[in-house]
Amino acid sequence: MDSYTIIGAASIIGACLCMGIGSIGSALGEGHAAATALQAMAQQPDEASRIRSTMFVALAMIETTALYALLIAFLALYANPFWNYAIAQ
Amino acid sequence: MALQIDFSKWLDLPFADKVIGLESYDAIKVISYGDWYINVTIFNSWIVIALITLVSWLATRRLSCEKQVSKLQTALEALVLWLQREANETSGSRNNQYLGMALGLFSFILISNLLTFIPWFRPPTASISTTMALAAMVFIAIPYFSIRNAGIKAYLRKFIEPIPLMLPMNIFSEFFSIFAMGLRLFGNMLSGVMFASILSAFIPLVAPLTMQTLGLLTGSIQAYIFALLAIVYTSSVKEEIKPEL
């Protein structure tokens, strides 16, 4: 196996694992936040608009952890420094 | 050495098989003069700035407080009043000192995010240089507002709280909260642009439209979050309010 075969395979597998494992936590967190917000909206329908806007902000902040994983996956796939080094050899 | 203007790649669709790499996003030159060049990101942020200036100028050209108020003035008044209420509620101050910063960040990020509905427009916020520059502005604004509101002693005391042993941790968290702020906006916008471009390579008919609609929602929420976090960070050190008896 050449060095760039290993590097290519490792970056693709690494990117897939990074997305898969990295999004578990944020998916669970977002689900919990949405469920709690829905419960609060059902109990207090008058406050539904305020709860909804706060929920969107919270969801976007929880989503950040998954986005970090996405960035690392993009880096491994499209801007991999080791891959560029192996190609230049 | 000659001034070269090249608009051929300015409105180039970032298809999945062409340029998706992080570094190639900033490398497309529009105006170049020798070694100096203006890339797509800077050029598009100029467009956004020009748009905001034009709309603000049009709205404030004939201000009136009569019964007949122009629609544009009403819209901008609603925006400013809403953000003023949010800024004062979040920071706990009543003198509108955070409104300028919040409104500037919010309008720039909002307009550049909403312009993604033009399919070939690359939003400047989908480049890490823009978002990190915006975050760096907040990084400078933190000591400015803290020292102005509470004095330099209270600002420095924040770093040794609750115990002096936490000093390196506090300095780290100061840097990383700002770093995360820039990275959050960048990641959101980049993933929106990439999703749309990859999807339009596979299913070009209707499918990218749904992702772009979702992108408008996340884009406006991200603009709100960025402005809100800037207010939260800059107003973290406050003067002790003595209870009035």
Instruction: Note the pLDDT tens digit of each residue in B51-71.
Output: 999 999 998 887 878 778 888
The pLDDT score that the predictor gives to residue B21 is 47
Residues 29-58 of A with CB under 8 A from B: 56-57
Query: Could you tell me what percent of chain B has a pLDDT over 90?
Result: 23
- Domain membership flag for residue B182: yes
Please indicate if any CB of chain B lies within 8 Å of the CB of A74: yes
Q: Are B135 and B105 in contact (CB under 8 A)?
A: no
The pLDDT score that the predictor gives to residue B89 is 84
- Domain membership flag for residue A88: no
- Domain membership flag for residue B206: yes
> What is the number of structural domains in chain B?
1
Could you say which of B21, B22, B191 has the minimum Cβ distance to residue A70? B191
- Tens digits of residue pLDDT in A11-41: 999 999 999 999 999 999 999 999 999 999 9
| Residue B148 backbone dihedrals phi, psi, to 5 degrees | -70, -35
Instruction: Tell me the average pLDDT across B19-33.
Output: 65
Sequence-distant (≥ 6) Cβ neighbours of residue A6 within 8 angstroms: none
- Domain membership flag for residue B5: no
The pLDDT score that the predictor gives to residue B80 is 92
- 3-class DSSP assignment, residue A71: helix
Instruction: Tell me the average pLDDT across A46-55.
Output: 85
- Domain range for B202 is 64-234
Work out the mean pLDDT of chain B and round it to a whole number: 83
- Domain membership flag for residue B71: yes
- Domain membership flag for residue B47: no
Tell which wins on pLDDT, A31 or B28: A31
Mutate to test the interface with B, among A50, A56, A59 (most CBs of B within 10 A): A56
Q: Are B103 and B154 in contact (CB under 8 A)?
A: no
Q: A23-30: long-range contacts at Cβ-Cβ below 8 A with a sequence spacing of 24 or more? A: A23/A66, A23/A69, A25/A65, A25/A66, A26/A62, A26/A63, A26/A64, A26/A65, A26/A66, A27/A66, A29/A62, A29/A65, A30/A59, A30/A62, A30/A63
pLDDT band per the 50, 70, 90 thresholds, residue B142: very high
Note whether ipTM > 0.90 here.
Answer: no
> What is the number of structural domains in chain A?
1
pLDDT band per the 50, 70, 90 thresholds, residue B11: low
Amino acid found at B34: G
The sheet that has B29-33: what strands, in order across it?
B3-5, B29-33, B36-39
pLDDT band per the 50, 70, 90 thresholds, residue B14: low
What CATH number is given to the structural domain containing A47? 1.20.20.10
Q: Kindly tell me if the per-residue pLDDT of A88 is higher than 90.
A: no
First to last CA, chain A: 15
pLDDT band per the 50, 70, 90 thresholds, residue B3: confident
Distance from CA of A3 to the nearest CA of B (A): 22
The pLDDT score that the predictor gives to residue B199 is 78
Query: Could you tell me what percent of chain A has a pLDDT over 70?
Result: 100
- Domain membership flag for residue B242: no
- Domain membership flag for residue B241: no
The pLDDT score that the predictor gives to residue B40 is 83
Q: Kindly tell me if the per-residue pLDDT of B143 is higher than 80.
A: yes
Are A74 and B225 within 8 A, CB to CB?
no
- Domain range for A35 is 3-83
Closest among A68, A28, A31, A16 to B176, alpha carbons compared: A68
- Domain membership flag for residue A43: yes
Q: Are B31 and B37 in contact (CB under 8 A)?
A: yes
The pLDDT score that the predictor gives to residue B19 is 45
Q: Are B222 and B129 in contact (CB under 8 A)?
A: no
Please indicate if any CB of chain B lies within 8 Å of the CB of A83: no
Show the CA angle centred on residue B183, arms to residues B201 and B56, nearest 5°: 85
- Domain membership flag for residue A89: no
Helix (H) or strand (E) holding B171: helix B167-202
Mutate to test the interface with A, among B17, B109, B127, B191 (most CBs of A within 10 A): B191
Chain B residues whose CB is inside 8 A of the A75 CB are 22
Q: Kindly tell me if the per-residue pLDDT of B150 is higher than 60.
A: yes
The pLDDT score that the predictor gives to residue A13 is 95
Are A70 and B187 within 8 A, CB to CB?
yes
Query: Is the torsion defined by CA of B138, B98, A61, A77 positive or negative?
Result: negative
Q: Kindly tell me if the per-residue pLDDT of B25 is higher than 80.
A: no
Cα Dmax for chain A: 66
The pLDDT score that the predictor gives to residue A15 is 93
